[in-house]
Amino acid sequence: MAEAAGTDSGRTKNMVLRLDPALAERLAAVAEVEGRTVSDIAREAIAALVEARRKDKRFRRQLEDNLARHQRLLDLLREDQP
Amino acid sequence: MIELDVAGLVVIAGQVLGIGTDAALSQLDIPAAEAALTEARLAGQQAASAAARSRRPGSTPAPPHRAAAAAAAATLMHALLRRPPLPGHSEQVAAAAGLQYLAVNGWQADLDVPRAAAITIQGLASGQLTPADAASWLEARLSPDPASPDRATTTQTPLPPRSRARRIMLAPFPAVRHRRRSRPGPFAISLGSADNPAGIRTPATGLMPFTGPALSSVILSRQEARRHGQPRGLEHILLGLAGQDDSVAVKALERLGISQEAIRRQAENITGQSQPQAQPPQAPDTPQARRVWHAVLDEAVAHGDSYIGTEHFLLGLLCHRDAPVVQALASLGAEENQIRTAITAQRAESGPERPARWHGVHAR
Q: What is the pLDDT of residues A46-62, one digit of tens each?
A: 888 888 888 899 999 99
Minimal Cα–Cα distance from A33 to chain B, Å? 26
Q: Output the pLDDT for position B237.
A: 94
Pairing of strands A12-17, A2-9: antiparallel
Q: Domains in chain A: how many in total?
A: 1
- Which residues in chain A touch residue B34, judged by CB atoms under 8 angstroms apart? 1-2
CA pair distance B114, A70, nearest whole angstrom: 8
Q: Taking CB atoms and an 8 Å cutoff, what residues of chain B touch A50?
A: 7, 10-11, 21, 25
A50, B7 Cβ separation under 8 angstroms:
yes
Whole-number Å distance between alpha carbons of B34 and B23: 18
Residue of B nearest to A13 (CA): B26
- The alpha carbon torsion through B21, B25, B26, B28 (nearest 10 deg) reads 130
Per-residue pLDDT of chain B (364 residues; tens, 9 = 90+): 788 888 999 999 999 999 988 888 888 888 788 888 888 888 888 877 776 666 555 555 444 588 889 999 999 999 999 989 988 889 999 999 999 999 999 898 988 788 888 888 988 898 888 898 888 888 888 888 877 655 433 333 333 333 333 333 332 222 222 233 333 335 567 776 666 778 887 766 778 889 989 988 988 998 888 888 888 999 999 999 999 988 999 999 999 999 999 999 988 888 876 665 655 555 678 888 888 888 888 888 877 788 899 999 999 999 888 899 999 999 888 988 889 989 988 988 888 888 776 544 433 3
The pLDDT assigned to A71 comes to 93
CB B114 within 8 A of CB A69: no
Whole-number Å distance between alpha carbons of A67 and B215: 37
By C-alpha distance, the chain A residue nearest B146 is A62
| Nearest alpha-carbon partner for B144 in B62, B53, B221 | B62
Residues of chain A contacting B147 with CB distance shorter than 8 Å: 65
Cβ–Cβ contacts within 10 Å for residue B44, how many?
26
Q: Which residues of B264-296 are buried (b: 16+ CB within 10 A; e: fewer)?
A: bebbbebbeebeeeeeebeebbbebbbbbbbbb
Cα–Cα distance for residue pair B279/B230, rounded to 1 Å:
9
Contacts of B25 in chain A (CB under 8 A): 46-47, 50
Report the C-alpha gap between B240 and B246 in whole angstroms: 13
Phi/psi at B248 (nearest 5 deg)?
A: -60, -40
Tell me if the pTM is above 0.80.
no
- What digits encode the pLDDT tens for the residues B307-353? 899 999 999 999 888 899 999 999 888 988 889 989 988 988 888 88
CB–CB of A74 and B29 under 8 A?
no
Show the domain range for A38. 2-80
Which of B242, B246, B244 is closest to B329 using CA atoms?
A: B242
∠A54-A59-A60 over CA atoms, to 5°?
60
Output the CA torsion A13→B13→B44→A15 (10° steps).
Answer: 0
Residue B144 identity (one-letter amino acid)? P
Identify the CA nearest to B207 among candidates B182, B190, B220, B183.
B190
Percent of chain B at pLDDT > 70 equals 77
| Spatial distance between the Cα atoms of B361 and B358, rounded to a whole number of angstroms | 8
Radius of gyration (C-alpha) of chain A in whole angstroms = 18
